[in-house]
Amino acid sequence: MGVLSSKNCTKSTASMKKKIRSQPLKPTTAVDHLDGITVDYGSWWFNVRPSNTEPLLRLNVEANSRQLMEQKRDELLAFIRG
C-alpha cells in the first residue's frame, strides 16, 4: 500500500472530486464518497481525502502488486498535482 500526503496541493477536496468524476470510468468501477473519494478498479483502488489535522490531501493506493501500486501512485500524483 502507498500512502502519501500532498503538501503543495492547492486543490480543495470538492474540486478534486469534480476532477476525478470527470474522468471516464469502466462500468465495473465502484465509487464511494463517504470519506473523500474512493475509486475501486478491482485489481487496485485509491482514496483521496483531506487531512483532518493539516491543510493536505491524503492519497491511499492499494494494488495486487507493488509494481501496479507504484505505477498507479505515480499516475495519481501527477493527476492531483497537475
Q: Which domains does the chain have, with CATH numbers?
A: 2-81 (3.30.310.50)
Taking 50 as the threshold, does the pLDDT of residue 30 lie above it? yes
Q: Distance between CA atoms of 16 and 77, rounded to whole angstroms?
A: 12
Taking 90 as the threshold, does the pLDDT of residue 61 lie above it? yes
Task: Return the closest-CA partner of residue 48 out of 26, 9, 39.
Answer: 39
Output the nine-digit C-alpha cell for 66. 507493488
Task: Collapse the DSSP code of 64 into the 3-class scheme (helix H, G, I; strand E, B; otherwise coil) and give the result.
Answer: coil
Taking 50 as the threshold, does the pLDDT of residue 13 lie above it? yes
Backbone phi, then psi, for 32, in 5-degree steps? -130, 140
Q: Which of 5-9, 10-14, 22-26 has the lowest mean pLDDT?
A: 5-9
Q: Is residue 9 very low, low, confident or very high in pLDDT (cuts 50, 70, 90)?
A: low
